[in-house]
Structure 1
Amino acid sequence: MENKHTFNAVANEYEKFRPSYPSELFQGIIQYSLIEKHDRILEIGCGTGQATSGLVDLGYEHITCVELGKNLADITTEKFKHIKSINVINSAFEDWEGREESYSLAISATAFHFIQPEIGYPKVSKLLKNKGSAAFFWTVHEPSFDEIYSAIRDCYQRYAPQLDDINKPSPDEVINERLKITEQTNLFDELAVKEYRWFQEYTSEQFISFLNTHSGHRLLAEDIRESLFNEIKDVIDQYGGVISKPHLVALFLARKK
């Protein structure tokens, strides 16, 4: 199972336990793109509509959402069924045929990395109007070195050392790599990056459900995943039953040349 397909299997958990994006992020997108309320927006990989909600909350409702996973697309369709100007399309972005130069803004929330850059960026450029904006953002893992996280790393070393976050690139490395990819397309300019940080508390059960929405964990053998999750839950319970998770979202803004 490819990583991009794993979220569809846990669509309801994804909707419930994945952190929503901060309102300041969407305000930053609007300020950069200068779009009007009537402008058309393309969302690539809408998932369960978390980013869609961020735009709707600010009054932007002319949105075409393209989502590969049927379960995810169904949740988004149901969520926004009262807004006729939101259209949810169950398709891979690579296969979908949109009308060229018809969108003022394209957004993608923690999804665009699943699309090959040599396919994704040119297609977005063609779909955007002249000087249209792209706003792609990702949840970037930010490690914590509190004692509780050191104990959790021991669990990973026992069951899934490849998922130990000590092996992950730093946030700066992730951001610089995406900037490089965007620049190399030579299709966009006026690049800008904004970072948003906050903490979120989870009970031990909520934290396990949150981990279960990540593709790396979903791809583990079931017995390994269950043992790993049981030990992590035990660790959190030993530390009072609540864990504070640092979150970081990196927003990449660019304008079509």
Structure 2
Amino acid sequence: MDADKELEQRRSCYSAVATAYNRVRPRYPVDLIQRAIELAQLPPKAKILEIGCGPGIATVEFARRGFSMVCVEPSLQMCQFAQQNCAEYPNVEIQNTSFEEWDLQTDSFDAVLAATSFHWIPPEIACPKVADALRDNCPLILLWNVVPSPRYEVFQVLKEVYQNFVPSLAKYERIEQDKLNLQAINQTVIDSGRFQKLISDEFGYNITYNTDDYLMLLSTLSPYIALEAEARNALFAGLRAKIEQELGGAITLEHLCTFEIMEKTVEDE
């Protein structure tokens, strides 16, 4: 896929599910946000650039702490939710553009934040542009909400439905594999030579969804968005029946949030 098509995909990928995304996507734990801020040593009035803010899930947590935010987001629908959610914070500016197309403001930010969004941007573009936007010795903060997953024994109950309707999704995703995927992204940033001093931490907890909210959550995930409507509807009908009949109308998911903090490498004069 060429660069133009990739950008167009990102503009439209979540547009149809923006309402669901805003409603049911997991939030970032307050303790995780606070610890990331402390370890990043952000000054009280820090100016932060956020890449791919979505509906402002992480944005609000930083804005309410008094930081000034410039947020770029390619989806118009997501931008509209971000503007609504951040309406009480005049220190937040939402720009409807991709990071690639954003007009670089060199050496202008005390931190760059990407909340479950950094993987969308080619690293050969993201790493140097982020570094150029940062002031010297300032951090890149990567927040990650790993896609919540049911416990193995619960997935086994649902597996038959996947095998019947969408066999390609009949695979159990372990959190350990998600961690390895994130480590690979982090290593790519370090390998760019523009960042150093990796600091990381993680928070795990469980979330219980009723049937409607669980299916709404699935509808916001890329593999499900990519399905043909007929296949997705059949799958969701089967999952609904299974959850209602065998799981009591609710499903508990194992949830993992992580952060990685890297400092801009100052080039020798």
Establish whether TM, by shorter chain, passes 0.5. Answer: yes
Q: Spell out, residue by residue over 1:196-243, the C-alpha distance to the aligned partner (whole angstroms, 9 max, x if none).
A: 111111111110011001111011000100010111111111111011
The Cα shift of 1:246 comes to: 0.8
The SS at the match of 1:249 is: strand
Moved more, 85-94 or 134-143: 134-143
Match 2:132 to one of 123, 126, 133: 126
The equivalent residue for 1:64 is: 70
8 Å Cα contact 1:41-1:64 kept in structure 2: yes
8 Å Cα contact 1:148-1:236 kept in structure 2: no
8 Å Cα contact 2:46-2:110 kept in structure 1: yes
Q: How does 1:79-228 map to 2 (within 5 A)?
A: 79-141=85-147, 143-166=149-172, 170-228=177-235
8 Å Cα contact 1:148-1:235 kept in structure 2: no
CA distance in 2, matches of 1:63, 1:185: 26
CA distance in 2, matches of 1:188, 1:213: 32
CA distance in 2, matches of 1:117, 1:164: 30
TM-score by length of 2: 0.89
The equivalent residue for 1:249 is: 257
8 Å Cα contact 2:63-2:69 kept in structure 1: no
The equivalent residue for 2:236 is: 229
CA distance in 2, matches of 1:249, 1:233: 27
Aligned identity (percent) is 27
CA distance in 2, matches of 1:153, 1:143: 13
The Cα shift of 1:111 comes to: 0.9
Q: Spell out, residue by residue over 1:145-201, the C-alpha distance to the aligned partner (whole angstroms, 9 max, x if none).
A: 443321212222222222234367713321321232122111101012211111111
Ranges in structure 2 where 5+ consecutive residues have no aligned partner: none
CA distance in 1, matches of 2:156, 2:224: 19
The SS at the match of 1:97 is: coil
The Cα shift of 1:77 comes to: 1.2
CA distance in 2, matches of 1:172, 1:94: 26
Partner AA of 1:64 in structure 2: V
CA distance in 1, matches of 2:218, 2:156: 16
Q: Spell out, residue by residue over 1:88-144, the C-alpha distance to the aligned partner (whole angstroms, 9 max, x if none).
A: 000011000131111011111111111000001110000000011011122224654
8 Å Cα contact 1:66-1:90 kept in structure 2: yes
CA distance in 2, matches of 1:165, 1:19: 22
Partner AA of 1:84 in structure 2: P
CA distance in 2, matches of 1:145, 1:87: 39
Match 1:28 to one of 29, 35, 46: 35
Alpha-carbon distance change, 165 to 105 in structure 1, aligned in 2, over 3 angstroms = farther
CA distance in 2, matches of 1:54, 1:82: 12
The Cα shift of 1:30 comes to: 0.9
8 Å Cα contact 2:53-2:72 kept in structure 1: yes
CA distance in 1, matches of 2:31, 2:16: 30
TM-score by length of 1: 0.93
8 Å Cα contact 2:215-2:236 kept in structure 1: yes
Ranges in structure 1 where 5+ consecutive residues have no aligned partner: none
Partner AA of 1:240 in structure 2: G
Alpha-carbon distance change, 178 to 54 in structure 1, aligned in 2, over 3 angstroms = same
